[in-house]
A and B are shown apart, each in its own frame.
Chain A
Amino acid sequence: MSTTPPMLRIRNLHKHYGSNPILRGIDLDVARGEVVVVIGPSGSGKSTLLSCINFLEPFDTGEVRIDGEPIGWCGGGEGSRVRQSERDLDRLRASVGIVFQQFNLFPHMTVLANLIEAPTQVLRIPETQARARALALLEKVGLSGKAGAYPGELSGGQQQRVAIARCLAMQPKLMLFDEVTSALDPELVGEVLAVMRRLRDEGLTMIVVTHEMGFARDVADRVVFMDGGVIVEQGPPAQLFHRPNARRTREFLGKFANTDERATTLASAPPTGDPPGPLPPSNLVSP
């Protein structure tokens, strides 16, 4: 299947806020069914990267293709490009789910209404069908009894699982997770991660920005380390956590020493034969 495009293809992506560069040339391919976990210090551009993928944040230059189809800008080269029609943008966004740190459920609607809103309004799926699918999804995320509840009546973990189900209701090709456990009480993190593990087992293509190193190690097909708006290093979790090449990666992983025992031993293990300085970004091809 070498002719099918990757689910996501990013080339030379740049993004500034004012004079402040946030993304400085990102190249990333994500294969069908692959789970890519993005780690890195705050301010490294991870969340902005996700927002650029569905063009919630317009990027400055570069190219993003979802399942072969460019999103955002179209037309000729730099300079002559134009913004894609809103209709095309909406259609592409409908195929990419994003789960936010702050859940962003619609508080004036029940859980069920949250789940059928976009399928009925955007995809024009008949309500009975959307409802049936929504109920099945709620069961999948372990919230069958909560269809009639309002978001404000749920715990953070439950809300986040509803938010995941809301995305799944659109049957996305690709799911983006933007620090989805960062706003949760520690005891609620597990239930959300369990749902995400299950999605991975079902073969969903996922990009996960997280600070949960344990989760990254267990679930990722590939871990990407970002810092200063570039991908510093990427590779299978075993390699990135055990034998990080770049000094910046080791320094970052070392900060998790106190909270994660395994990371401690991995990150502080003396790297053998390493050059002293940071390496240039190693653009490993996706597995």
Chain B
Amino acid sequence: MDFELAVFLEVLPALAAGAVVTAQLALGAALLGLVFGLLGGLARVSGNRLLRGTSLGYVLIVRGLPLLVILLFLYYGLPSIGVLLSAPTVAVLALSITNGAYVTEIVRAGIESIDRGQMRAARSLGMSYPLAMRRIILPQAFRRVLPPLTNEAITLVKNTALVSVIAISDLLRAGVDAMTWKANTFSPFAGVGLLYLVLTIPLLVLNRTLERRYRIR
């Protein structure tokens, strides 16, 4: 073991800068992924065949491909047809498309888990389908899918490590750089691991707080 406290402390600022990049990517991709997932989930339970088919296709294709492949395709493949995206754009896009596919299935399952009587009751009171979804079904479904959504958020944070292959100075990249620069392996990676935990553990706490706050009595 070659852990040295001095090295550890010395590389920490660089690692923290990488962690900020990772956090930004994760936050951007999580928000965008939530939008994709919500739209995808609503489309999956829609009465419209085209919407159902499209969203199912999205889920099947994206869930069936490694994130690394999507990332490299967007970064190296798209330029060959004239679409040139910056590395951070590609990173957020790839992460959110992937995250959105998983969230789509979570949202679908959440909506379908709500008793059909809820929609019947809402519609019988004259509420339109979108209104009933927004006011009655989704709030209940959201409470139910908080735990799986948290899992997805954590997976997302960890998946950001893959973006280091397209030249983004994220947390992992910062660790690898520090390792080379300091000729020390253990100390930088101890910091990298620690900072990933700093990013992921608050999500678990957030989940507990939200679950408690929105529990159905």
Contact = CB atoms under 8 A, between A and B. Distances in A.
Which of B122, B125, B139, B140 counts the most chain A CB atoms within 10 A?
Answer: B125
Contact of B126 (A100, A153, A170): A170
Nearest to A105: B121
Contact of A104 (B118, B135, B214, B216): B118
Interface stretch (A61-69, A89-97, A186-194, A207-215): A89-97
B128 interface: yes
Contacts of B122: 106, 118
Contact of A56 (B115, B123, B127, B140): B123
A122 B125 CA distance: 8
Interface in A165-187: 166-167, 170
B66 interface: no
A2 to B, nearest CB: 30
Nearest to B116: A104
B126 A56 contact: no
Interface string B173-185: 0000000000000
A201 interface: no
A122 B216 contact: no
A86 B124 CA distance: 12
B121 to A, nearest CB: 4
B212 interface: no
B136 interface: yes
Contacts, number: 71
B85 interface: no
A152 B215 CA distance: 12
A44 interface: no
B217 A93 contact: no
Interface residues of A, number: 31
B135 A121 contact: yes
Contact of B217 (A97, A106, A152): A152
Interface size class of B (residues with CB under 8 A): 20 to 34
Contacts of A100: 117, 120-121
A54 interface: yes
Contacts of A106: 118, 121-122, 136, 140
B126 A90 contact: yes
B129 A150 contact: no
A167 B121 CA distance: 10
Given A104-B115, A106-B136, A108-B143, A118 B126 contact: yes
Contacts of B117: 100, 102, 104
B190 interface: no
Contacts of B143: 108
Contacts of A105: 121
Contact of B127 (A104, A118, A163): A118
Contacts of B115: 102, 104
A107 interface: yes
B161 to A, nearest CB: 37
B61 interface: no
B9 interface: no
Nearest to A96: B124
B205 interface: no
Nearest to B134: A121
A165 B115 CA distance: 21
B23 to A, nearest CB: 31
Interface string A231-275: 000000000000000000000000000000000000000000000
Nearest to A169: B125
Which of B115, B136, B140 counts the most chain A CB atoms within 10 A?
Answer: B136
B131 interface: yes
14 contacts: A56-B120, A97-B124, A98-B124, A100-B117, A102-B117, A105-B121, A107-B140, A108-B140, A118-B125, A121-B135, A122-B127, A123-B126, A152-B216, A170-B125
Given A93-B125, A108-B140, A122-B125, 14 more contacts: A54-B124, A90-B127, A93-B124, A94-B126, A96-B124, A102-B117, A108-B143, A108-B216, A117-B136, A118-B125, A121-B127, A122-B127, A167-B125, A170-B126
Q: A-B pairs with the 10 shortest C-beta distances?
A: A94-B126, A104-B121, A118-B125, A104-B117, A150-B217, A122-B126, A98-B124, A93-B126, A90-B126, A107-B216
Interface of B: 115, 117-118, 120-129, 131, 135-136, 139-140, 143, 214, 216-217
